[in-house]
Structure 1
Amino acid sequence: MSADPTRPSRARRLRERVADRIDAAQLARPRLALGSLALLCAMILGGSLLPVPYVIERPGPAIDVLGRYQDEEILVIDGAPTHPTDGALMMTTVSVDGGPGYRVTPVEVVASWFDRTKMVLPRELVFPEGQTREQTALTNSVAMSTSQQGAVAVALDQLGIDHREVVMIAGVQPDAAAEGTLEGGDVIVSVGGRTAADVTGYQELIRAAPAGEPVALRVRRDGQELDLEVPTETVDGTTRMGVVLSAGYEFPMDIEIAVGDIGGPSAGMIFSLSVYDELTPGALTGGHRIAGTGTIAADGTVGPIGGVRQKMVGAADSEAEFFLAPSANCDEVRGHEPEDLAVVAVSDFDEALTATETIATTGSIDGLPTCEDMSTE
C-alpha cells in the first residue's frame, strides 16, 4: 500500500512547526528591542529631569553704583554737598540656580561642570536645610541693608564725618505678627518705655513682654518718632514680633542705595568707595571702569565672599578694566583672572582707596598688590 502524496509526513510537519516558531521569534525580537529602547530612553529622560541637591553659580550682572539700575538712580545723597564724578564703580553679582523653591537637573549640573564660568556646589553649602524661598529673600535683604549701613559708616569715618550707632529693624519676616506695623529701616527708640544699649538688650526686652499681647514701641522713621502698638506671638514658648534686629547707624545726611531685589553683603567695599567718591571733589576712578567685591567691617576690613570667579567673569563681560578682590579670596582668584581684567588684592578700605586712586592717576596696577604677590608670602 502506497503513502498518500498529499499528506505531509511527520518530519515535514515538525520542520514546518520549527520554522514557524523561528519566524515568530524573529518577528518578536525587533518589537522587544524597540520596546526596551523606548523604556530606556524614557528612564534616561525622566532621570535627566529629576531635581538634584546641587546649586549652580554663574556670572551675574556688574552694576555701576554711580549710575542707574532698573531706571532708578542707585546712590542718592541728600543733606550734604556732592560732586560730579566719572567712570564706574561696579558691584558684581552671582546668579544662583537651584536655591530654595528652585531645582536643577542632572543635565544642567553635568553641563556646568564643563563650563569654566560656572561653579557646581552641594546645596547645603549655600542654603541651610529647610530654608524657604521667603526666608532666603529675607536673609539676603537683611544682609544687603546692614552692608549698606556699614559701608556708609566706613566712608564717613574716612572723611571724619560724625554719625551714631543705633539698633534698627533690618527686616520683617513674611506673615509675622509685626508685618504691616514695623518696617525695615525703623530705628528703635524704646520698647515698653525702656531703652537698651544694643541688639541683645532690645531682644531681651521683647522676650520679656507677655506673649500674644501688643508691645509699645517707639521708633524713628524718616526723621519722625512714632509710637506703635506692635502685635506679638508665641514661637517655641518665646514672645516674638517676627523682626530681625541689627546694629545700624544714623547719619547727618540721608543716603539711599537702591539695587532692586539684589541681596547679600558682598558689595560693601564698592558701596563705601562710591559714597566716598560722591562726597569728595573729582572722579575717584579717573574715568576708569573699576569693579570689585568684598564685605566691609566696621573697622574697614574687606572680607572674603563666594563666587569670586563668576564675579570676575561678570565684570569682564561688563567691560570693566580693573577688579578689586579681597586678599582672603586670592586662592580662588589666582590663575582664573579673565583676559584684559587687571586684578588688585585688597584687605581693607584704605588699600581699596589707594588702589582706586592709583588706577585713576596711572591707568595701571603697577606697584599695587596682586594675588600673585600674595602667593609668595
Structure 2
Amino acid sequence: MTEEPTPPTRPARVRALVTRTIDEAQLSRPVLALVTLALLCVMVLGGSLLPVPYVIERPGPAIDVLGEYEDEEILVIDGAETHPTDGALMMTTVSVDGGPGYRVTPVEVVAAWFDRSKMVLPREAVFPEGQTREETDLSNVAAMSTSQQGAVAVALDELGIDYEDVVMIAGVQEDGPADGTLETGDVVVAVDGEHAADVDGYRDLIRAAGQGGTVAMTVRRGGEELDLEVPAETVDDSPRMGVVLTPGYEFPMDVDITVGGIGGPSAGMIFSLSVYDELTPGALTGGERIAGTGTIAEDGSVGAIGGIRQKMVGAVDSDAEYFLAPSANCGDVLGYEPDGLEVVAVASFEEALTATETIAGSGSTEGLPTCEDVSNQ
C-alpha cells in the first residue's frame, strides 16, 4: 500500500507562492533594467539633438582686403591712378551658428559655453523674431553694400575727391519679385518718369506706381541708363519688389569690393583704409599685418560691432600682429586680448589712419591709445 502524499499546509503554500514570485521578478529584473536604460538613452539622445533658441558666435576668417578672396581680387579701382602696396589690411568676421533656417543643439550650446573663443546668445538678441533666412541674407547684403559705399566716401573725403549723392539699390532678395531685373548697386534715376530727392521720396513714388503688378523704373548701371519694368507683389496694399533702397554715392571712379557671401557693416573702417592705401603712394601698413573691425559713418566716426572677441581670435589665427578696435567696444576687449596681438583703440577714421601710419613707421603701438586707456578716461 502506498500512502497518499500529505497536502501542503496553507502557510507552506503561501511561502511557495512568495518564493516563486520573487524568483520570477529576479529573472525579469535585468530585462527591465536594460529596457529602462535603452529608453533613457533614447530620451537623452533625442533631447540633445532637439533645436534650442540660441545662436553660437565663433571666429570667422580674417581676410586681407588688399589681396584675394576665393581666387578673386577683393578691391578693384578703375578710372583713377592706383599704387602698389604691401602688408595686409584684414577685415575680420564672425561665423554664426543657429540663425534663421539653421538650428543648434543643447550639446553644441554646452560645448560653446566652455570655449572662450565662442559666445552663446539668445537668437532674438541677434535676429529679429520671425525673420526668414532670405530676409537675413538680404539684410546682410544691403548692410555690406551700404558699408562699402560709405567707406569709399570717407576715404575720398580724406583725399579731397568730390562725388555725388544718389539713391541706390543696396540689395535684391534672391528669388524675390525684382530678382533678375534689378541689381545691387543700381542707381535709381526715376520711378514712373518722376524723380525724387531721397529714399523716402522714391518709396512714395513706388507705392503710387506699383498697383498694376509692375513698377516702371529708370536706373543707371555701369554708366548706362536702363528703363525697366520691375515686377512687384502686393503686400498690405503696398507693392513689394524685394529690394533695399538706401542713400548712396556715385564716385568719379569705379570701386568694386568683392568678399563673396560675407555680409554686414562691420568692415567699413578697414575698407576705408584699403581704398585710401590704393589711392596713395607707398604701403600704408609699411608691410605689417594689421587687422581690425568697426563700422564707418559719413563723418568718419568708427562704430561698435558685435563679436569682437571672436574677431580678435580670427585675426591671430590669420597671423595678424596688430588689431584696430572701436573705442566703443573696449569693454568687450579688456581681458580677452589674445596673446601675440596688440590692440589699438580708435574712434574715427583719422585715428585709424594715424594708428596704421604709426605702426608702419615704428613697428610698434607705443604712444597709441589702448582699450585700457579708453576705459580709464
Report the TM range for the smaller structure's normalisation: over 0.9
Aligned match of 1:51: 51
Aligned match of 2:198: 198
Give 1:182 deviation, angstroms: 1.3
Q: Deviations over 1:188-225 (max 9, x none)?
A: 11112211111111111111125124332211101111
- Provide the rounded CA distance (Å) in 2 between the counterparts of 1:242 and 1:236: 14
Q: Is the contact between residue 316 and residue 338 of structure 1 (CA under 8 Å) also seen in structure 2?
A: yes
Instruction: Classify the secondary structure of the residue corresponding to 1:57.
Output: strand
Aligned residue runs from structure 1 range 26-65, under 5 A: 26-65=26-65
Query: Compared with structure 1, are the counterparts of its residues 344 and 65 closer, same or farther at alpha carbon in structure 2 (3 Å cutoff)?
Result: same
- Provide the rounded CA distance (Å) in 1 between the counterparts of 2:125 and 2:376: 30
Unaligned ranges ≥5, structure 2: none
* Structure 1 letter corresponding to 2:276: Y
- Provide the rounded CA distance (Å) in 1 between the counterparts of 2:274 and 2:170: 22
- Provide the rounded CA distance (Å) in 1 between the counterparts of 2:12 and 2:210: 100
- Provide the rounded CA distance (Å) in 2 between the counterparts of 1:75 and 1:210: 37
Q: Deviations over 1:289-347 (max 9, x none)?
A: 00000000010010000000000000011110000000000000011000010000000
Q: Is the contact between residue 212 and residue 234 of structure 1 (CA under 8 Å) also seen in structure 2?
A: no
TM-score (structure 2 length as normaliser): 0.97
Give 1:242 deviation, angstroms: 2.6
Give 1:233 deviation, angstroms: 2.7
- Provide the rounded CA distance (Å) in 1 between the counterparts of 2:71 and 2:180: 27
Aligned match of 1:17: 17
* Structure 2 letter corresponding to 1:302: V
Aligned residue runs from structure 1 range 348-367, under 5 A: 348-367=348-367
* Structure 2 letter corresponding to 1:9: P
Aligned residue pairs total 376
Q: Deviations over 1:4-26 (max 9, x none)?
A: 4x556325444333221111111
Aligned match of 2:282: 282
Aligned match of 1:106: 106
- Provide the rounded CA distance (Å) in 2 between the counterparts of 1:157 and 1:193: 33
Correspondence 1:186 to 2:154 = no
Q: Deviations over 1:333-375 (max 9, x none)?
A: 0110000100000000000000000000111111100100012
Give 1:232 deviation, angstroms: 2.9
Instruction: Classify the secondary structure of the residue corresponding to 2:209.
Output: coil
Correspondence 1:138 to 2:138 = yes
Q: Deviations over 1:137-166 (max 9, x none)?
A: 111001001100000000011011111110
Aligned match of 1:77: 77
Compare 95-104 and 180-189 and name the one that shifted more: 180-189
TM-score (structure 1 length as normaliser): 0.97
Percent of aligned pairs with the same residue?
75
Query: Compared with structure 1, are the counterparts of its residues 135 and 213 closer, same or farther at alpha carbon in structure 2 (3 Å cutoff)?
Result: closer
Q: For the aligned residues, what is the CA RMSD?
A: 1.5
Give 1:123 deviation, angstroms: 0.2
Aligned residue runs from structure 1 range 302-317, under 5 A: 302-317=302-317
Aligned match of 1:240: 240
Correspondence 1:249 to 2:266 = no
Q: Is the contact between residue 59 and residue 117 of structure 2 (CA under 8 Å) also seen in structure 1?
A: yes
- Provide the rounded CA distance (Å) in 1 between the counterparts of 2:275 and 2:132: 34
- Provide the rounded CA distance (Å) in 1 between the counterparts of 2:246 and 2:333: 32
* Structure 2 letter corresponding to 1:24: E
- Provide the rounded CA distance (Å) in 1 between the counterparts of 2:376 and 2:17: 85
* Structure 1 letter corresponding to 2:244: V
- Provide the rounded CA distance (Å) in 1 between the counterparts of 2:144 and 2:225: 25
Q: Is the contact between residue 269 and residue 296 of structure 2 (CA under 8 Å) also seen in structure 1?
A: yes
Query: Compared with structure 1, are the counterparts of its residues 194 and 326 closer, same or farther at alpha carbon in structure 2 (3 Å cutoff)?
Result: same
Give 1:3 deviation, angstroms: 6.3
Instruction: Classify the secondary structure of the residue corresponding to 2:328.
Output: helix
* Structure 1 letter corresponding to 2:216: A
* Structure 2 letter corresponding to 1:124: E
- Provide the rounded CA distance (Å) in 1 between the counterparts of 2:290 and 2:212: 51
Aligned match of 1:322: 322
* Structure 2 letter corresponding to 1:46: G
Aligned match of 2:116: 116
Aligned match of 1:218: 218
Give 1:36 deviation, angstroms: 1.4
